[in-house]
């Protein structure tokens, strides 16, 4: 562990937890319509199996819940079109978006009918890499498919409770090999620093990825909310954060030079880098975005918004013609600067013109302590026209983004606790819709 890591994490935890404290008043106003093109994030919360380490908003899949959910989701999408929003890129996350392929296809078809969409990225799990699903995704215009693999090691897959639902390491390798070439970008999501992961396990995972020669690899450090830690301790064991740096160094050494870093934890095959393949974290390329669906987040004009985590309330609010946003937060100028600094530089470089156009010279004055500290750590370089991350900086930014997402996960826990209170404030549905709830 680098000497600066404990201090950096202590500061980050305090700052990011503070930045994710939303207002508690229900039914916040929706984001104001803007003319500039944005990215659309679509959240599908359903999963066949709920992994013990996962802190995302997800619920057990049931067809009788999925059909009305997708109907409400498409109604919410139409409402943004009616208000004049414009979207050029779409990212569908979850959950497992491909769990209901026909519903997903209908949703993507609607989006394409409303806006001139350029790129569509969809998340999936290895068991959905079968011909009918793949063909449907290709037909829907999906250009980037991101597969949640996490590890090829059978013992780790069993501990993560993924071996049964999603297949063995050998089965996952076969399915990925069969899916290569079907999409402009096939991305594989992996996790490192799992409690019982050894160096040998990580080496075998890296060797398998290099053998598969997939287009893109996203290697995340294990991140989870406090509510999931007790469950994770029982199934996976305790996390040793002291191994995180050496694991990360090994990942960088193994993936270079065949893969070029697109962000601190996303690596694109070098021969594809010139094609500007989508990187894994949509917020790096799009620092403003609108999220639709239960549990989705939006960020626009310095405001964060969160939709209800209650599927029933989500459906009823949308059916009543309103917004499903129940929490919001206006970032201070410094929080806004820090957010932009974090997510833009996470993509490895930050043009000076970008921040000066938004904040003027005030950015360099307000962010001077962070900039000085990062320069002393050897994390950033001041280059002509831009800031750049060094390898040390890539690890610092990995820690920073991990703590940001941990703060988001803590907020997700709070939103789950609000579900009962939110249900008491639901608008009434017409009798026919109420009977189908």
In the DSSP assignment, the letter for residue 36 is: S
Q: Are 162 and 150 in contact (CB under 8 A)?
A: yes
Q: Give the model's pLDDT for residue 274.
A: 47
Q: Give the model's pLDDT for residue 428.
A: 44
124 with 227, same domain: the answer is yes
Final residue of a structural domain among 285, 316, 351? 285
Q: DSSP string covering 349-418, please?
A: EEEHHHHHHHHTTHHHHHTHHHHHHHHHTT-EEEETTEEEE-HHHHHHHHHHHHHHHHHHHHHHHHHHHT
Q: Are 205 and 155 in contact (CB under 8 A)?
A: no
70 with 133, same domain: the answer is yes
93 with 174, same domain: the answer is yes
* Model pTM score: 0.89
Give the domain extent around 192: 24-285
The structural domain count of the chain equals 2
Pair type for strands 297-300 and 303-307: antiparallel
113 with 192, same domain: the answer is yes
Mean pLDDT by 10 residues, the chain (437 residues): 76 66 65 90 94 83 93 98 95 95 97 96 97 95 96 96 96 97 96 95 98 96 73 75 93 94 90 50 65 94 90 94 89 87 87 92 92 90 95 90 79 69 46 37
Q: Are 313 and 76 in contact (CB under 8 A)?
A: no
Is residue 34 in some structural domain? Answer: yes
Q: Give the model's pLDDT for residue 34.
A: 87
Q: Give the model's pLDDT for residue 284.
A: 47
For 192, residues 6+ apart whose C-beta sits below 8 A from its C-beta are 202, 219, 220, 221, 222, 244, 247, 248, 251
Q: Give the model's pLDDT for residue 57.
A: 83
Pair type for strands 185-192 and 386-389: unpaired
Among 402, 385, 302, which Cα is nearest to 346's?
402
Residue that is written with structure tokens 């959950």 in the block: 95
Is residue 8 in some structural domain? Answer: no
Element (H, E) at 46: strand 46-47
64 with 158, same domain: the answer is yes
For 225, residues 6+ apart whose C-beta sits below 8 A from its C-beta are 55, 406, 409, 410, 412, 413
267 with 355, same domain: the answer is no
């Amino acid at each position: 562990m680098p000497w600066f890591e404990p201090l950096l994490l202590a500061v980050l935890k305090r700052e990011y937890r503070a930045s994710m404290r939303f207002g508690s008043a229900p039914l916040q106003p929706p984001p104001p319509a803007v003319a500039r093109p944005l990215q659309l994030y679509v959240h599908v919360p359903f999963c066949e199996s709920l992994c013990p380490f996962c802190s995302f908003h997800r619920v057990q899949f049931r067809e009788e819940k999925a059909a009305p959910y997708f109907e409400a989701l498409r109604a919410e999408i139409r409402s943004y079109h009616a208000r004049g929003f414009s979207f050029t890129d779409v990212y569908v996350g979850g959950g497992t978006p491909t769990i209901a392929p026909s519903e997903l296809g209908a949703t993507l078809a609607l989006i394409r009918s409303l806006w001139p969409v350029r790129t569509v990225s969809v998340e999936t799990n290895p068991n959905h890499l079968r011909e009918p699903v793949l063909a449907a995704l290709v037909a829907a215009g999906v250009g980037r498919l991101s597969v949640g693999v996490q590890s090829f090691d059978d013992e780790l897959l069993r501990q993560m409770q993924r071996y049964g639902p999603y297949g063995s390491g050998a089965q996952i390798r076969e399915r990925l090999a069969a899916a290569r070439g079907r999409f402009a970008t096939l991305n594989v999501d992996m996790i490192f620093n799992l409690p019982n992961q050894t160096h040998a396990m990580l080496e075998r995972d890296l060797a398998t990825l290099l053998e598969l020669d997939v287009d893109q690899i996203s290697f995340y450090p294990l991140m989870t909310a406090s509510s999931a830690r007790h469950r994770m301790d029982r199934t996976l064991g305790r996390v040793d954060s002291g191994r995180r740096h050496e694991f990360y160094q090994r990942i960088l050494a193994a993936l270079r030079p065949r893969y070029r870093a697109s962000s601190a934890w996303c690596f694109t095959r070098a021969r594809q880098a010139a094609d500007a393949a989508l990187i894994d974290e949509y917020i790096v390329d799009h620092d403003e975005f609108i999220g639709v669906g239960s549990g989705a987040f939006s960020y626009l004009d310095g405001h964060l918004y969160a939709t209800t985590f209650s599927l029933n309330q989500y459906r009823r609010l949308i059916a009543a013609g309103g917004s499903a946003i129940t929490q919001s937060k206006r970032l201070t100028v410094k929080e806004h600067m820090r957010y932009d600094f974090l997510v833009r530089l996470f993509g490895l470089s930050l043009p000076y013109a970008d921040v000066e156009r938004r904040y003027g010279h005030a950015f360099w004055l307000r962010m001077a302590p962070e900039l000085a500290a990062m320069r002393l750590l050897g994390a950033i370089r001041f280059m002509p026209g831009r800031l750049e991350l060094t390898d040390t900086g890539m690890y610092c930014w990995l820690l920073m983004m991990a703590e940001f997402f941990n703060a988001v996960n803590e907020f997700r826990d709070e939103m789950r606790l609000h579900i009962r209170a939110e249900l008491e404030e639901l608008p009434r549905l017409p009798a026919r819709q109420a009977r189908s709830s």
